[in-house]
Amino acid sequence: MCGLAGFLGGKGFIAEAEPQALLKRMSDSILTRGPDDFGFWYDGEHGVGFAHRRLSILDLSPAGHQPMTSASSRYVIAFNGEIYNHLDIRAELEQSGYWPAWRGHSDTETLLAGFDFWGIQGTVERTIGMFAIAVWDRESRKLFLTRDRIGEKPLYYGWQGSGSKRTFVFGSELKALRQHPAFENRIDRHAISLQLHHSYIPAPYSIYAGISKLTPGCLLSISPQAEEPTIVTYWSAASVAEAGVASPDLGRPDDVIDRLESLLKDAVRRQMLADVPLGAFLSGGIDSSTVVALMQSQSSRPVKTFSIGFYEEGYNEAVHAKAVAAHLGTDHTEFYVSAQQAMDVIPRLPILYDEPFSDSSQIPTFLVSHLAKKEVTVALSGDAGDELFCGYTRYKTGADVWNNVGSLPMPLRKLAAGTLRLISEENWNKAATTFGSLLPRSVRQAHLGEKLHKGAMVLASESFDTLYRGLVSHWRDPAAVVIDGEMPPTLLNGRPPRLAGLDNVQRMMALDLLTYLPDDILVKVDRAAMGVSLETRVPFLDHRVVEFAWHLPQSLKVRDGQTKWALRQVLYRHVPKSLIERPKMGFGVPIDSWLRGPLREWAESLLDEGRLRREGFFRPESIRRKWEEHRSGKRNWQYYLWDVLMFQSWLEKNH
């Protein structure tokens, strides 16, 4: 795992600044992505420069140093990521008659040999891995940028400056781009609206005007003279979903489970390849337990596993993780975090996440990464199991509710929604606490008020897509809060993918795979882990697993009301059901109570009405009303307030 940065053009700046020193400043800003080595390369004739920071995982010798040049000298690369099948690619090259004099055993060198033989796109299409890659082609005099299929590794780019100082800048994180003198530092108000709506800024947008995120599964090319880059898609999650649903695997369930287990074992085995200590995150849930079980089944020694616990009731999964670890025989480390230790992470978030990001599970994600880094350099995680095997509660409940209410007359639905909203979330919660013991255990609900108010939103939805957007969004109309901030078109709003043949549940899963997973979950994990120089790997995102999962009929994902049925069957071959079967628990922290208690002064400072007016990004009326209702306990606006607070905190630290 590494970090990269660079630029193309801008010779007006180069006349004023030493390019090597500039490249070093860009790379130093992302030091934690690669503390083991530093390198740069600059071509003065064409005005292109690469900087690289290395976290050594494979081939720890100098033979893995980057930027690296191909054997033919045609290609120069700066590479962030891991290619899990690079030894297979080497073998294929050799069988094809191309046998370069290998200098080492790094996957970077393998990629370059592939570029020489198959070209850049032909090589990328053969990979199994996670990556962000910058390549300079000396023959065509073009810069190429590419990103892995799902978006595990980040890559930003864009033109900045004008005239002779106009520069195409790119890098793993925005903080590297900010080091370049061409960087204009203009905040995109439309991006603020997106962040308030989603809690993240979806690709291709970024918080800065003129700077984009490269969309997963794409290959970008640009020449020094080009006005705009050319972008082609080499792999499409939407197309994979459509193809899988169109041709479901109708084999016997036992045979399908056998093949799923075999494929997952292979994905895990490949991701266990490392020349440094390796372990795994373990929450005790289905996804992480499956990954750890398959790791342990292929390891001659106990796998190192890590989990954190919380003293607050309703947020602690450590006891479940410990039980799974004991059954599997892993070398398990757990750490119970106090509220103060968790809150101490908050001042670091604006620097870690580099642009406003407000999924509050960023806090425990950083803490477990910090814990793991004490013993390992690589950690496998169970992310993406929900999106691929239909695990989120909203999939079933959203579809069930819509099937029940979608055909009802809209006036009746709006009346019912209004009735539910007459009682505040807090009072619904109090009622559930007071009378919950009188109800059957199967129908008791935590956070009842929030769920009933979400139900009201469902009732008032005009279409299923509107319902889905409501389920995955916070501020419904952020343009009413953000001054001059409109909602630009995204995959969820304005330019949805066709997703032909998918039913409502499958459509939600596909949209999550295209948006929530890469722009929220994977961003959260990448920045938290790289902030402590820890590489994370996600076996479920081996693209062969993604494609296999979409060929599974829905009846093998949800059966008899049980979600992730196929994945559970794999897990039950290694871990007893009794250790797994329990209500799903989110990986979160009690932001709601913290904002009323120990974080109250911090939040009040950032949400001060005079400050909001002076900074000029927000209309303060709605924000202040929500803050006052939250402080008093009248309503729980934790997610809405956290969105604003994370922007305010980012603004304070970065501008």
Catalytic hit among 1, 2, 318, 372: 2
How many angstroms separate the CA atoms of 29 and 52, rounded? 11
Distance of CA 225 to the CA centre of its chain: 33
Give the DSSP letter string of 492-541.
TBBS----TT--HHHHHHHHIIIIIIIIIIHHHHHHHHHTTT-EEE-GGG
3 state DSSP class of 130: strand
Backbone angles phi, psi at 466, to 5 degrees: -65, -40
452 burial class (0-12, 13-18, 19+ CB within 10 angstroms)? middle
Backbone angles phi, psi at 52, to 5 degrees: -140, 140
What is the b/e burial string over 592-630, where b = at least 16 CB atoms within 10 angstroms of the residue's CB? Answer: bebbbeebeebbeebbeeeebeeeebbebebbeebbebb
3 state DSSP class of 366: helix
Other C-beta atoms lying within 10 Å of the C-beta of residue 407: 8
How many angstroms separate the CA atoms of 625 and 524, rounded? 29
Helices (H) and strands (E) in the chain, counts: 29, 17
Q: Kindly state the tokens that stand for 213.
A: 């995120």
Q: Kindly state the tokens that stand for 624.
A: 């202040």
What is the b/e burial string over 178-197, where b = at least 16 CB atoms within 10 angstroms of the residue's CB? Answer: bbbbbbeeebbbbbbbbbbb
Q: What is the residue whose two structure tokens read 């890659």? A: 133
Q: What is the identity of the amino acid at 30?
A: I
Catalytic site includes residue 2: yes
User: Does residue 363 contact residue 348 with C-beta atoms inside 8 Å?
Assistant: no
Give the DSSP letter string of 179-202.
TSTT----B-HHHHHHHHHHSS--
Identify which of 301, 245, 329 has the alpha carbon closest to the alpha carbon of residue 574. Answer: 329
3 state DSSP class of 69: strand
Question: Which of the residues are catalytic?
Answer: 2
